[in-house]
Amino acid sequence: MELIIATHNQHKATEIQRLLPNWISVKTLDEIECFEDIPETENTLEGNARLKSTYISKKYHVNCFADDSGLEIDALGGEPGVYSARYAGENGDAHNNMDLVLEKMQGITNRQAKFRTVISLIIDGVETQFQGTIEGEITQEKSGTEGFGYDPIFKPLGSEATFSEMSLAEKNKISHRSQAVEKMIGFLRGLEK
């Protein structure tokens, strides 16, 4: 089975490809020569994931999936949430986004947060959504060199390491994205029978 993943982010594509069984092959937008950025104009993760998958499905007539992920911080009223990728501005700079979070969190003792991913899968024109969530906390400073996005400032509950201090294999055992992908794989396995 071949699926298109609606992303230009090679880190995300690699992370997801490692989670998938070998009977599912994935191509990125770049590989199908779709170079446009699909605007994320919805105000929910569910809406943005649907927006991207629907766009690719209708334009290219392919089975595809898209995800939208957000970091939701309790003390900031759920921010940055759906605006996670562009929290510090439209250019989507991860370091500026993390700096803004750390600045807003100065002096705050409640550092509880969660990462949430929503996947919108479209098979033969029909959409199904899957969600994954991991609870954790915002660290006082950036730590680690692996991963991407907010990984250097997010420490999952029960872990001494940030996502960025974990190997991809360690992160994939517990991450919000891996939970959503596992649910999608289970659904696709059911279609194969």
13: number of Cβ within 10 Å: 18
DSSP class of 161: S
Cβ contact 114:133 at 8 Å: yes
SS3 content of the chain, % helix, strand, coil (to 5): 40, 25, 35
Which parts of the chain fold into alpha helices (H)? 10-19, 45-60, 94-104, 168-174, 176-192
d(C-alpha 151, C-alpha 170), whole Å: 13
**Token pair belonging to 1:** 């089975």
The partner residues of 113 in beta bridges, in order of sequence, read 73, 136
Task: Tell me the torsion sign for CA atoms 146, 73, 89, 15.
Answer: positive
Name the residue with tokens 């994935």. Answer: 26
Is 68 one of the catalytic residues?
A: yes
Alpha-carbon span 192 to 83, nearest angstrom: 36
Given the residues 37, 67, 68, 151, the one annotated as active site: 68
Q: Which residues are catalytic?
A: 68
